[in-house]
Amino acid sequence: MDIDPGLAVTLLREMIRIRRFEEKCAELYSAGKIRGFLHLYIGEEAVAVGVMQALTLDDAIVATYREHGHALARGISANPLMAEMFGKQEGCSRGRGGSMHVFDAATRFYGGNAIVAGALPLAVGLGLADAYLGRRGRITACFFGDGAVAEGEFHESMNLAALWKLPVLFVCENNLYAMGTRIERALSQTNLIAKAQTYGIAAESVDAMDVVAVERAARHAADAVRDGRGPFFLECRTYRFRAHSMFDAELYRDKAEVDDWKKRDPIVLLRSRLEETQHLDEAAVATIEGEIQQEISRAVAFADAGTWEPVEQLTRDVYTPTGGSL
């Protein structure tokens, strides 16, 4: 293989882990265990898994509302993540955030942000803090979709990051659709690399159905940012196999288009490469699947056994307690 086989198996395992977790979430949503909004990452797993390989524990991450895959790839345990989906106190955001607002300070995972492009200014702020405090070698990775590129926050963030040479890795997950709007219907300039380069930002595009390619591109980009060369824009060309959200009737694209993209499923592609080079067999895959199934089953049991926050505590962290002085 053109990559270390051990690393390749790790990448495959992490993608399968995210896929199975998301599939279970869809099942639990239909059963009424998970409520509110739910945006699945199925099809896009190679982005989170590939990019996370280039990040250190000191780096910060901000993501979109389609962030369960990022959270798992970053190292957030499936137990508190599933409990958060259930809205239980044992969740990583104490049940306050749910699917769209996953947060975990221990892993420097700063959301999960429901506002389109909302993560971009946060990433600039984190990068500014690192630059101001002289924390050399630490970077912030910001994940966002192609729909965010049409927002003012994108341009403001690009401008400031370039102007101040901030250590931010901008990762655009271009899945061609902003909710139900095809990219060509929203952007007069669909070359996203050109948009970033307009601000003097180094930029690269990668086939994000190939996790090996993503891993390499992410390392190159992260190294450039870490070396003090300013921000970097990495466009990951990907595709979501499921609807935008569980409420999406998905009337804006043909089934044939989705089926064509599924032929390039990042999990299937990497598994095939590993099997062809005899670095993986069916027994090994079965072992991986079995271990992941056990992990997810434990997570569901943990979430089911979790507790609801008492009603009298619902205003905690929302309002300043009365009777005290500020």
- Domain ranges, residue 279: 5-300
Residue 22 CB partners (closer than 8 Å, separation 6+): 40, 41, 42, 68, 69
Residue 323 domain flag: no
Predicted local confidence at residue 97, as pLDDT: 93
Predicted local confidence at residue 2, as pLDDT: 79
Kindly report, residue by residue over 261-288, the tens digit of the pLDDT: 999 999 999 999 999 999 999 999 999 9
Percent of residues, the chain, with pLDDT higher than 90: 94
Kindly report, residue by residue over 294-307, the tens digit of the pLDDT: 999 999 999 999 99
Count of helix runs (H) and strand runs (E) in the chain: 12, 7
On whether the CB atoms of residues 178 and 150 are closer than 8 A, the answer is yes
Domain count, the chain: 1
Predicted local confidence at residue 323, as pLDDT: 58
What would the mean pLDDT of 119-145 be, rounded to a whole number? 97
Confidence category of residue 315, pLDDT binned at 50, 70, 90: confident
Residue 307 domain flag: no
Residue 319 domain flag: no
- Residue 290's domain is classified under what CATH number? 3.40.50.970
pTM of the shown model = 0.95
**Lookup result for tokens 């000191």:** 58
Residue 320 domain flag: no
What would the mean pLDDT of 91-102 be, rounded to a whole number? 94
What would the mean pLDDT of 18-44 be, rounded to a whole number? 97
Neighbours of 213 (CB within 10 A): 18
> Does residue 326 surpass a pLDDT of 90?
no
In the three-class reduction of DSSP (H, G, I as helix; E, B as strand; rest coil), residue 75 is classed as coil
Residue 42 domain flag: yes
First to last CA, the chain: 62
Confidence category of residue 25, pLDDT binned at 50, 70, 90: very high
Residue 313 domain flag: no
Predicted local confidence at residue 127, as pLDDT: 98
Distance, CA of 83 to CA of 301 (rounded, Å): 9
> Does residue 40 surpass a pLDDT of 60?
yes
> Does residue 213 surpass a pLDDT of 90?
yes
Neighbours of 43 (CB within 10 A): 24
What would the mean pLDDT of 161-188 be, rounded to a whole number? 96
